Structure formats: C-alpha cells, structure tokens
Amino acid sequence: MNEYEFKVIKTANDIEDICISYGICKILSDNRIKFKLKDNKSMYSIYTKEFDIQNDIFYNDFNIENVWNLNSGLNQKETVRALDDMNKFLSENIHDILEHLLNGKVLNYKKESAKGIGNCFYSLGVRASTFGKTLEISPIKKYLSFLGWIYGCSYCYKEKSFEITAILKPYNTDEIAKPFNFSYVDKETGDKKILTKIKKASEINMMSILYIETLKKYKMLSDEYSNVIFMQNIIAGQKPLYDKTTNIKIYKLSQKYLDDLLKKLTWSNVSEDVKDITARYVLNIDKYKEFSKLIKIYSKDGNSKINNDFKGEILSMYNEMIKKIYNDETINKIGKGFNRLLRDNKGFEIQTKLYNVANEKHLVKVLKMIIDLYSRNYKSAILNNDELNKLINTIEDKEYAKICSDAILSIGKVFIIIKK
C-alpha cells in the first residue's frame, strides 16, 4: 500500500505551523487513521497509509464543552462564534484541504482576520504604514491552527497577572501529547477536573513546574518531541498583551532527579530564593552559569542540598572542562576538607571568599587558607605540596578559577551522599 505525505511548509511562525499540523492530526485521529508526524526541517510532514480522502474522512465538530485551554484573547461569545466558523469551514472543505496539503491542489479562499489563538499573535501592524490592522491569513491556516491549538495546548493563568499556554514541538511522533495541566478532584463527584487558575506562583515558577511535570508525564518524551514552547501573555483590560515566547529543549532526566527538583519548586518549607533559582535553573538547565548561581544560593540557604547521585546527570549537560574540574581528585579533597571545617563551625570566612573568587590569584589564596586552617585544626594535611602545585598549575584563567570555586562550594556545602 502506498503512503501519503501531508505537508505543512514552515514559515516564520513555528507555533502556527505546529498548530496546523496538530489540526490535521486531530482530523486523522477522529477518523481512526494512524499517522506519523515528523519534523523535516523545512516542513512538518504527516505520513499515513493511502486512503480514500473523499469517502474515508469526515470532520467531527468541536464542542465548546471540550474547550478549556484558550487564553483571554477570546471571551465566551467570541469563542462560540469562532468554533461555529471553524466547524462550518472545515466540515465543508476538509476534502479539498487535504488534497491541497497532499498534492498542492490550488485553493482560492478569501483571506480572513487572524486570531491570537492558533498563532500566538492577536494582531500585527503593517510596516511602512501609520495604521495597524489585524493580520489577514488563509482560512485554511486560521481554522486548522485554531483546531490544533485546542487539541495540543495546555493552559493556566494567575488572576489579574499573566497567562501561560504550553505546546510541544514535535520531532517524530505518532500521537499528540499535550503538556501537563494542573488538576484537582471534585469533592462531590470524585471526578478529576482540570485546574487553570493558579493562586500562588510566579511566572517562572509555574513554567518550570509545567516543564518538569510534562517530562514526568511522558517517559519517552525526548524521543518524540524536541521542545516545550511557552507562550506568555500579560492580562490587561479586555484583551491580553502578548509578552514573550520561551522555547525549552526537552532533555532525558531521571525520574528521581525530576522529583527532587519538583520538591524544591513546590514544598512550602522551601524559601522563595531557592524556589526562584531552581526555576531559573530548570528553564536553563544546559547553561552552566545558572547552575553556578544555584550552587551559591543553595550553599547560603543551608537547608537546600543535592543528592550526590545526581551529580553525574547534572554535569552531563556541560562541557568537558567543567566535568574535569568537578571530578578532579584534588578538588574533591579540598571540598571534603572544607566540608569538615564547616561541620566544626570553622570555615565560614572561607565560604564568603569562595563566593567572591574572580581570578586565579583569588582562588590560590582561598586554597591556601583551606589547607592552612585544616592543618592547624586537625594536625594533618589535605594535600601535599606536589598536589597543591599541580592543582595551581592547572588553573588556566579566571573562568577556570571561578568554576573551581563553585566545585569546592558544591562538594563542601551542597552535594550530599545519602546512605542507603
């Protein structure tokens, strides 16, 4: 049997392209036609086995009772009208639309005003003009992307503050996965219901929770999807103001490490500083500078620790130089010695100096302080002269020195070995 390839040519608006692809997948899924959605760089391709487009496909109307993930860009009345328009257009034209996406059949529909639902933008100004007007697009794009948004997005908001809509960017999948959404159990019926209104959470904290919960929800997510895309709106007056789009790569992280991060983001006994830096780290997990900030905040907090079992998983995100420093035997000896001094209430001045290491000279001075203080208190040496000189000679530049100070701080104050 031959194969069909429905093509969605990529444009500058990746969100709209994804939503159009999801809209097609929704229609195929409603007709029990298996598909494979693949990112082919210049286009999103939806592959199926050959079928009779005219007789094997129908459009299933979308009912407003099933719609919960639209931002305040549309009110209830506008949503009903938009759904009616979408249902009417797609039911009347679905066969021609599929032929157009399959073999380029020419369709000439009058352009219509775009909606923010489906492309992330409510309206676009016209360049070289003093007047702004709503962008006009093909109704094929308008209604397929509207359908795909409803089918593939999750949504939550903080009253009178901000709204967040999330969607997954497909890589190679045969099933549309919707990002995590908050929920609660109805006390009267016992039914699980979707929760969109979040009372206490910062914007960045909410996004990081959604990211982690999405990774926890789908175990093989990184094999099928490449990114989580967050669309952020600021609630203002009758219509929200588009704020920004945040594109977070999906990584393979262990369930245990995800659970540990989630505790730091949600538990009531965790300080706001720790929650904030953890959220920023989660959304920039492959950037060492965020981990460096996290180490400093955790070490100051005192109650925030990282299980040493996660050390390898964390370091795998970074370059070989960083891994080499954190795994260096001499650095680990220094870190453990620093840890012993702290436990005996003798290393707090050193901790302050580690925060302020800015170059090679600063680091060497701190190293000698640790070695000297340790020797005077415990009558033994952490390092011999050869080990110290070898370590000093490996310090390449000020950046290297800063990472060494982070490693000593983390080994001495943040990473802990949990006895099993």
Give the span between the Cα atoms of 254 and 174, in whole angstroms: 24
Residue 294 maps to a domain: no
Residues 132 and 5 in one domain: yes
Confidence of residue 199 (pLDDT cuts 50, 70, 90): confident
Give the span between the Cα atoms of 142 and 382, in whole angstroms: 68
CB distance 281 to 318 below 8 Å: no
- DSSP collapsed to 3 states, the chain: CCEEEEEEECCCCHHHHHHHHHHHHHHHHHCCCCCEEEECCCEEEEEEECCCHHHHCCCCCCCHHHCCCCCCCCCHHHHHHHHHHHHHHHHHHHHHHHHHHHHCCCCCCCCEECCCCCCCCCCEECCCCCCEECCEECHHHHHHHHHHHHHHCEEEEECCCEEEEEEEEECEECCCCCCCCCEEECCCCCCEEECCECCCCCHHHHHHHHHHHHHHHCCCHHHHEEEEEEEEEECCCCCCEEEEEEEEECCCCCHHHHHHHHHHHHCCCCCHHHHHHHHHHHCCCCCHHHHHHHHHHHHHHCCCCEEHHHHHHHHCCCCHHHHHHHHCHHHHHHHHHHHHHHHCCCCHHHHHHHHCCCCHHHHHHHHHHHHHHHHHHHCCCCCCHHHHHHHHHHCCCHHHHHHHHHHHHHHHHHEECCCC
The answer, yes or no, to whether residue 126 has pLDDT greater than 70, is: no
Last residue of a domain, one of 94, 128, 151: 151
Residues 147 and 160 in one domain: no
Residues 185 and 246 in one domain: yes
Give the span between the Cα atoms of 389 and 26, in whole angstroms: 65
The answer, yes or no, to whether residue 123 has pLDDT greater than 90, is: no
Residue 143 maps to a domain: yes
Residue 78 maps to a domain: yes
Q: What whole-number percentage of the chain has pLDDT above 70?
A: 96
Residues 5 and 74 in one domain: yes
Give the span between the Cα atoms of 249 and 293, in whole angstroms: 20
Kindly report, residue by residue over 69-105, the tens digit of the pLDDT: 999 989 999 999 999 999 999 999 999 999 999 999 9
pLDDT for position 242: 85
Closest CA to 406 of 301, 334, 313: 334
Give the span between the Cα atoms of 23 and 149, in whole angstroms: 8
Residue 201 maps to a domain: yes
Give the span between the Cα atoms of 119 and 253, in whole angstroms: 30
Residue 293 maps to a domain: no
Residues 262 and 311 in one domain: no
Instruction: Let me know the angle formed at the C-alpha of 219 by 293 and 184, rounded to the nearest 5 degrees.
Output: 85
Residues 254 and 365 in one domain: no
The answer, yes or no, to whether residue 129 has pLDDT greater than 80, is: no
CA distances for 351 relative to 109, 219, 299, angstroms: 68, 39, 9
Residues 6 and 142 in one domain: yes
Residues 143 and 264 in one domain: no
The answer, yes or no, to whether residue 125 has pLDDT greater than 70, is: no
Residues 22 and 162 in one domain: no
Closest CA to 198 of 242, 239, 168, 154: 154
The tokens for 42 are 């210049």
Residues 262 and 350 in one domain: no
Residues 261 and 363 in one domain: no
Number of domains in the chain: 3
The answer, yes or no, to whether residue 371 has pLDDT greater than 60, is: yes
The predicted model gives 40-53 an average pLDDT of 96
The answer, yes or no, to whether residue 141 has pLDDT greater than 90, is: yes
104: left (phi over 0), alpha (psi -120 to 50) or beta: left
pLDDT for position 237: 76
The answer, yes or no, to whether residue 314 has pLDDT greater than 60, is: yes
Residue 290 maps to a domain: no
The tokens for 73 are 């860009």
The answer, yes or no, to whether residue 394 has pLDDT greater than 80, is: yes
Kindly report, residue by residue over 233-250, the tens digit of the pLDDT: 998 877 888 888 999 999
Residues 81 and 3 in one domain: yes
Model pTM? 0.93
Confidence of residue 382 (pLDDT cuts 50, 70, 90): very high
Q: What whole-number percentage of the chain has pLDDT above 90?
A: 83
Kindly state the greatest CA–CA separation across the chain.
88
Among 60-74, 127-141, 248-262, the range scoring the smallest mean pLDDT is 127-141
Kindly report, residue by residue over 19-28, the tens digit of the pLDDT: 999 999 999 9
The predicted model gives 330-345 an average pLDDT of 96
Kindly report, residue by residue over 401-415, the tens digit of the pLDDT: 999 999 999 999 999
The answer, yes or no, to whether residue 122 has pLDDT greater than 60, is: no
Residue 298 maps to a domain: no
pLDDT for position 1: 62
Residue 127 belongs to what domain range? 1-151
> Residue 70 corresponds to which amino acid?
L
Confidence of residue 133 (pLDDT cuts 50, 70, 90): low
Residue 288 maps to a domain: no
Last residue of a domain, one of 226, 248, 283: 283
Q: Can you name the residues that pair with 241 across neighbouring β-strands?
A: 234
Last residue of a domain, one of 151, 168, 188: 151
The predicted model gives 216-245 an average pLDDT of 90
The answer, yes or no, to whether residue 213 has pLDDT greater than 80, is: yes
Query: For residues 255, 261, 266 and 267, what is the CA-based torsion angle, rounded to 10 degrees?
Result: 100
Tell me what the pLDDT averaged over the chain comes to.
93
pLDDT for position 377: 95
